[in-house]
Copies of this chain bind each other. A is one copy, B any other.
Amino acid sequence: MDSKAARKKDVPAREKILFAAFDLFHEKGIQATSVDDILKHSGTGKSQFYHYFKSKEGIVHSLLQQMHQRLKSDLTINPDINSWSDLEQWLKRPGEMQESCSCERGCPVGTIAANLAPKDELIRQDIQLIFETIKTKPRAFFTAEKAQNKLKPEADPESLATFCVSLIQGTALLSKVERSTDPFNTGIDHALIYLKSFKIE
Contact = CB atoms under 8 A, between A and B. Distances in A.
Interface of A: 27-32, 104, 106, 110-111, 113-118, 124, 127-128, 131, 159-160, 162-163, 165-171, 173-174, 176-179, 182-183, 186-187, 189-190, 193-194, 197
A88 to B, nearest CB: 17
A56 to B, nearest CB: 11
Given A169-B169, A190-B194, A194-B190, A28 B31 contact: yes
A32 B57 CA distance: 13
Contact of A190 (B29, B128, B159, B187): B159
A39 B108 CA distance: 31
A177 to B, nearest CB: 5
A163 B177 contact: no
A36 to B, nearest CB: 15
Contact of A163 (B115, B117, B190): B190
- Chain A contact residues, majority secondary structure: helix
Given A168-B170, A174-B169, A29 B29 contact: yes
Contacts of A106: 114
B117 A27 contact: yes
B178 A174 contact: no
Contact of A160 (B104, B116, B190): B190
B177 A116 contact: yes
A170 B169 CA distance: 5
A29 B177 contact: no
A9 to B, nearest CB: 34
Contacts of A159: 186, 189-190
A131 to B, nearest CB: 6
Contacts of A110: 114, 173
Contacts of A117: 27-29, 32
Contacts of A169: 169-170, 173-174
Contacts of A193: 194
